[in-house]
Amino acid sequence: MRTLGDGAVPGSLYPWSWPSDKVDIENFQTISQGGELFSPPILTKLILDREPKRVLDWVDKVCQRFDFQRVIPSHLNNDVRADRKQFSAAFSMLRSTPKNIYPQRPLPEDLALLQKASDLLTNLRVVAPSEICDGEPARRKGRFA
């Protein structure tokens, strides 16, 4: 089997592009912000933003119930120094309103595919519409816009 790269998939049917510049590094630094907690874009765009109140109620319960200094997520950094305030901030995009839009961390180019999938699944009525106002530039920018 050929390694993934130019010509490895017939017709270049990749759902992504291979950047030749430092976009991947810029996106990693934007998302990771030095190891800060964040809600993964795939969860935010396809699941959590459908019922943000329930998610934020859960976040508030965790923050009220436990006094912690570390979080051990399932992916990426596996032992993150974080307190209740930082844990709560990881879900800040779910607090967006039309007048106060919290920024999404991924670059629009990298979020565009998820945005397109979210819109498609909503239009097909597979998932409920998003309940947050994201003001997402991925709707207008990027390869899949």
For the stretch 84-132, pLDDT in tens is 999 999 998 888 887 887 776 677 777 888 888 888 999 999 988 888 8
Domain total in the chain: 1
Domain that holds residue 89: 37-139
Place of tokens 């010509």: 7
Residue 144 has pLDDT above 60, yes or no: no
Report yes or no on 11 lying in a domain: no
Evaluate whether residue 10 is within a structural domain: no
**Structure tokens belonging to residue 40:** 């993964």
Q: In percent, how much of the chain has pLDDT > 70?
A: 79
**Residue 39 corresponds to which amino acid?**
S
- In terms of Cβ atoms closer than 10 Å to its own Cβ (0-12, 13-18, 19+), residue 145 is middle
Question: Is the full-model pTM beyond 0.85?
Answer: no
